[in-house]
């Protein structure tokens, strides 16, 4: 019970007064030097709905960081436009270290290549803090599909062009683009069937309405373990620790194939280097100690970490790579 | 016998002092946020997620689930008292519930809603216990073609919802369909009617439209009819339903429970359809359908039972498959993950104490809700005697906070106000907003599934009649259409002859 009385305070008159002072104080203090940082709560904008992987990561890290920084870390879900709304909000926020963004492969690598009009620039408008986590996608098929490995799937798709359908969580998602890249590199034809998010897509895959999916690993993994789906390969550059016997697509049949989904912490560009350094240090500590580290790993999510520079380099490479994939896939959002 | 053993395990877990306490805390919070217009279970559960870190997983999930179905109870309260539907499922409750409140019968309406919900919750929990795994398979039988046919059935049922002119109802449904088109098209990624605003890229939220069309418009309309407001307060009669009320409602409760439980299993629109379908059914089987919309108690009992039954059975896909059926269930997945439980088909066998404990807690939670809510009815009804000039600005304020909290978006608040004025226009034009809302909810799903079904059939439209489930749904839809249209046509002809 103690945990709750702390989180659900009963507002007395004095608390209101304090809140009021706090708001005024916040306005005045925004120009304060960085050695006082942080002197008020920090918000992390998550551009995706509560309960998703990006949200879980932000809440986990936020919790641990808030203990080290001795300030509240508030998670704010600002969904919409494939993550662009939340990312844009962060880009246009004051670069004082009190607004951060849990960016993803979508907001900082795919969307800039997909949307003809972007409200923000993924490189110029942001100061990378650290990479947070990455996960491969999983190539899964319905058990009725007569293919036990990638080569057999390619042979099947070649023998019956257009007969197989692959589900995705929507246009321009990693699930969609991973499928398009597969089609291109294997020289096969499959029909793309977009859904609104992962859950309905996996439901139809398990129900056998569609045959193939390049799903984010956490949901499909459970269906694979229960024997409801058959996993053929992971899409990443290396095998996944949760399914070590499963080859990568590159090993199995398509050398050079590599797709991962990733998550990273950003601040608006112009944030002072001292603050970025502090945040990077705390985030890395949080990533190392987060008490759900093992639980996330069990689901195929690998916690990352590293320096802002490493993250910036990684992101630039990803922007180029996805630019090519998006162009070749013909995927569009307008 | 295995069933009894499972149940015993469940109650052993759920009945520990700690878990009963968290269950109570959950349903209490749920009732509270349900009563506050617009503030939904999604925002609440998201905020409480970190607070559950320190709890044992079973207690945490019991509490979070309690918030969800507790909100279903609470949601009907504002719908009945002030015509503000907090979520999709309470829209239909507004129709007759608010009419009853205006006649001074808010007490019986609230009581029947609570009792109906309790009964539905009990039955749905039993269904969960006995049939959860086989029922989960039903979700898989429902492909895009079946969903499309179900939506067709739902839209035709929407016409039955209206009690005014048939033409008006159809016009409102079409307007709802159009509003539903706003946003990015799932199939092609094209933006439709977004006017370049990224805030519209994912469409307009349901609560935004419902809050504006029902709640805000009613507040505007009330300002011009001062006399009637005072009448409402003058004749609050008894707080509890009469013997006739109960006699009229018990069958509606049974039917609502059955429909709600069935539709709740379907991911996506299932739970929403439940209350709409229950209302339509009640209106169709009633001896005098013209009473509906004017305070028919069956119109409260049926849908309220349906939505609570659906709230319970919507846990089936989550608990048995690890696939979330809606935004709240997606959050539950997140909660499970935080607590080291990997949601999936194995939860039932690997963590039986969690699976059965949660189910048993739902029954306890429903019992707690009735005990909590029946005495509250008196207080809620008293609330109506707060002077209008104080009560309604407060409601308006809470509604705006609620709408804002959905997505932390100020544009949503502005949109809700715009829909408020539109709703006022509809009141003046004698057009009912309920069919519009149903069109708004079902339209996008119908289009999405139509195109998906055709994509999967490689463009062959016969898929809708060659798949047996889909065919059955379409046949029912056609039959319903005949039932609705024939009397209307006949009446028109009679009118024509008389002239």
Chain segment B467-478, per-residue pLDDT in tens? 988 999 899 888
Q: Which of B48, B138, B190, B201 to mutate to test binding with chain A, by most A CBs within 10 Å of its CB? A: B201
User: What are the chain B neighbours of A217 within 8 Å (beta carbons)?
Assistant: none
Count CB pairs under 8 A between chains A and B. 166
Contact at CB, B323 and A55, closer than 8 angstroms = no
First and final C-alpha spacing in chain A: 50
Q: Which two tokens stand for residue A266?
A: 């950003």
Contact B359, B12 (CB under 8 A): no
| Cα gap B319→B346, rounded to integer Å | 9
Mean pLDDT, to the nearest integer, of B289-317? 87
**A50, A76, A222 ranked by CB distance to B344: nearest:** A222
pLDDT digits (tens, 9 = 90+) for A35-87: 688 889 999 999 988 778 898 889 888 888 988 899 999 888 888 888 898 99
Q: Is the model's pLDDT at A280 over the cut of 90?
A: yes
Residue A25 pLDDT > 50, yes or no?
no
Tokens (6 digits) for B355: 């699976």
Whether residue A19 is predicted with pLDDT greater than 70 in this model: the reply is no
- Is pLDDT at B252 greater than 70 in this prediction? yes
> B267 falls in which pLDDT band (50, 70, 90)?
low
Residue A208 with chain B: CB contacts under 8 Å: 140
CA-nearest residue to B336 within chain A is: A51
Cα B406 from Cα B413, distance rounded (Å): 10
Query: CA B272, CA B467: separation in Å to the nearest integer?
Result: 24
Tokens of B295: 């305070």
A320 to each of A14, A216, B38, B309, how far by Cα in Å?
54, 22, 43, 51
Indicate the burial class of B286 (C-beta count within 10 angstroms; 0-12, 13-18, 19 or more): middle
pLDDT band of residue B4 (cuts 50, 70, 90) is confident
Check: complex ipTM more than 0.85: no
Asked if A81's CB is within 8 angstroms of B198's CB, the reply is yes
Residues B202-225, mean pLDDT to the nearest whole number: 83
Average pLDDT, chain B: 82
Nearest to A315 by CA among A124, A43, A35: A124
Quote the pTM value: 0.81
Q: Cβ B325–A199 below 8 Å, yes or no?
A: yes
DSSP strand pairing (A260-268 vs A230-234): unpaired
Q: In terms of pLDDT, which residue wins out, A274 or B386?
A: A274
pLDDT at A28: 44
Highest mean pLDDT: which range of A9-13, A54-58, A187-191, B81-85: A187-191
What confidence score (pLDDT) does residue B313 get?
A: 85
Confidence of residue A1 (pLDDT cuts 50, 70, 90): very low
pLDDT for A94 beyond 80: yes
pLDDT for the residue B151: 84
pLDDT value at position A8? Answer: 40
**Rounded CA gap, B16 and B20, in Å?**
6
Give the nearest partner residue to A171 out of B54, B188, B455, using CB atoms.
B188
Give the integer Cα–Cα distance in Å for B258 and B252.
Answer: 10
pLDDT band at A290 (very low <50, low <70, confident <90, very high): low
Please answer whether residues A206 and A226 qualify as being in contact, where contact means their C-beta atoms are separated by less than 8 angstroms.
Answer: no
Mutate to test the interface with A, among B23, B342, B444, B453 (most CBs of A within 10 A): B342
- B52 to chain A: closest CA residue: A3
3-state class of A189 per DSSP? coil
Query: Whats the size of chain B, residue-wise?
Result: 499
Position B375 pLDDT exceeds 90: no
Residue with the two structure tokens 């994509």: B455
Cα–Cα nearest to B113, from B103, B129, B98, B125: B98
- The three-class DSSP label of residue B148 is helix
Q: Is pLDDT larger for residue A16 or for residue B301?
A: B301
Instruction: Quote the percentage of chain B above a pLDDT of 90.
Output: 15
Please give the Cα distance from B220 to B216 (Å, whole number).
6
Residues 181-210 of chain A with CB under 8 A from chain B are 191, 193-196, 199-200, 202-204, 206-210
Percent of chain A, pLDDT > 90?
A: 57
Give the residue from chain B lying closest to A292, CA to CA.
B338
**What is the per-residue pLDDT for A273?**
92
Strands A191-194 and A165-168: parallel
């Amino acid at each position: 019970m103690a945990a709750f009385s702390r989180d659900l305070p009963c507002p007395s008159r004095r608390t209101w007064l304090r809140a009021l002072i706090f708001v005024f104080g916040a306005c005045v203090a925004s120009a304060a030097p960085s050695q006082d940082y942080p002197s008020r709560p920090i918000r992390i904008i998550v551009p995706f709905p509560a309960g998703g992987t990006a949200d879980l990561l932000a809440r986990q890290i936020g919790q641990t960081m808030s203990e080290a920084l001795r300030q509240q870390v508030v998670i704010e879900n600002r969904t919409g436009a494939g993550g662009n709304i939340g990312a844009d909000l962060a880009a246009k926020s004051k670069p004082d270290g009190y607004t951060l963004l849990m960016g993803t492969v979508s907001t900082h690598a795919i969307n800039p290549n997909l949307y003809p009009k972007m409200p923000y620039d993924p490189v110029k408008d942001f100061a990378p803090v650290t990479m947070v986590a990455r996960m491969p996608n999983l190539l899964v098929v319905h058990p009725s599909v007569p293919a036990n490995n990638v080569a057999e799937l390619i042979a099947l798709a070649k023998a019956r062009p257009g007969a197989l359908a692959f589900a995705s969580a929507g246009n321009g998602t990693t699930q969609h683009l991973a499928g398009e890249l597969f089609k291109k590199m294997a020289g096969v034809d499959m029909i793309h069937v977009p859904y609104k998010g992962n859950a309905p897509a996996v439901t139809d895959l398990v129900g056998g309405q569609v045959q193939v999916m390049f799903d984010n690993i956490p949901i499909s993994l459970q269906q694979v373990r229960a024997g409801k789906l058959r996993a053929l390969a992971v899409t990443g550059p290396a095998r996944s620790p949760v399914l070590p016997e499963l080859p990568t697509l590159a090993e199995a049949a398509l050398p050079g194939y590599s797709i991962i989904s990733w998550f990273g912490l950003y601040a608006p560009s112009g944030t002072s280097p001292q603050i970025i350094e502090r945040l990077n240090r705390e985030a890395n500590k949080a990533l190392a100690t987060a008490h759900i580290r093992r639980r996330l790993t069990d689901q195929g999510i690998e916690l990352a970490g590293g320096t802002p520079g490493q993250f910036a380099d990684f992101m630039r490479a990803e922007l180029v790579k996805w630019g090519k994939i998006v162009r070749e896939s013909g995927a569009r959002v307008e | 016998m295995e069933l009894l053993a499972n149940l015993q395990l469940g109650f052993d877990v759920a009945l520990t002092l700690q878990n009963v306490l968290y269950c109570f805390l959950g349903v209490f919070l749920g009732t509270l946020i349900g009563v506050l217009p617009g503030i939904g279970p999604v925002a609440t559960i998201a905020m409480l997620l970190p607070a559950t870190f320190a709890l044992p997983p079973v207690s945490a999930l019991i509490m979070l689930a309690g918030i969800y179905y507790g909100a279903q109870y609470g949601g009907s309260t504002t719908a009945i008292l002030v015509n503000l539907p907090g979520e999709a499922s309470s829209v239909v409750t507004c129709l007759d519930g608010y009419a009853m409140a205006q006649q001074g019968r808010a007490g019986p309406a609230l009581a029947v809603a609570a009792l109906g919900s309790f009964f539905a919750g009990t039955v749905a929990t039993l269904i969960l216990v006995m049939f959860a795994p086989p029922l989960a398979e039903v979700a898989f039988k429902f492909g895009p073609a079946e969903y499309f046919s179900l939506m067709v059935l739902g839209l035709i049922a929407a016409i039955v919802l209206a009690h005014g002119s048939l033409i008006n109802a159809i016009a409102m449904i079409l307007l709802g369909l159009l509003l539903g088109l706003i946003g990015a098209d799932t199939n092609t990624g094209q933006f439709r009617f977004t006017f370049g605003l990224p805030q519209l890229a994912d469409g307009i939220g349901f609560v935004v439209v419902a809050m504006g069309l029902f709640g805000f418009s009613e507040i505007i309309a009330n300002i011009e009819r001062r006399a009637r407001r005072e009448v409402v307060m003058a004749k609050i009669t008894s707080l509890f339903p009469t013997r006739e009320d109960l006699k009229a409602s018990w069958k509606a409760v049974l039917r609502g429970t059955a429909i709600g439980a069935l539709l709740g299993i379907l991911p996506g629109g299932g739970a929403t359809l439940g209350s709409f379908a229950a209302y339509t059914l009640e209106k169709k089987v009633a001896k005098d359908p013209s009473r509906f919309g004017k305070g028919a108690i069956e119109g409260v009992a049926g849908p309220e039972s349906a939505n609570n039954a659906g709230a319970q059975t919507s846990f089936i896909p989550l608990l048995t498959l690890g696939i979330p059926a809606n935004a709240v269930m997606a959050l539950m997945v997140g909660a499970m993950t935080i607590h080291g439980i990997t949601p999936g088909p194995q939860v039932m066998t690997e963590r039986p104490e969690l699976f059965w404990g949660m189910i048993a807690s739902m029954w306890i939670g429903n019992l707690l809700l009735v005990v909590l809510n029946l005495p509250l009815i008196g207080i809620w009804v008293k609330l109506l005697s707060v002077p209008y000039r104080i009560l309604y600005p407060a409601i308006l304020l809470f509604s705006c906070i609620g709408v804002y909290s959905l997505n932390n978006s100020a544009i949503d608040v502005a949109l809700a106000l715009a829909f408020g004025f539109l709703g006022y226009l509809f009141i003046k034009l004698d057009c009912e907003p309920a069919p519009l809302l149903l069109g708004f909810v079902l339209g996008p799903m119908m289009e999405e599934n139509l195109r998906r079904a055709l994509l999967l059939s490689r463009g062959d439209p016969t898929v809708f009649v060659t798949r047996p489930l889909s065919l059955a749904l379409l046949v029912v839809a056609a039959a319903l259409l005949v039932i609705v249209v024939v009397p209307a046509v006949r009446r028109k002809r009679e009118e024509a002859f008389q002239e």
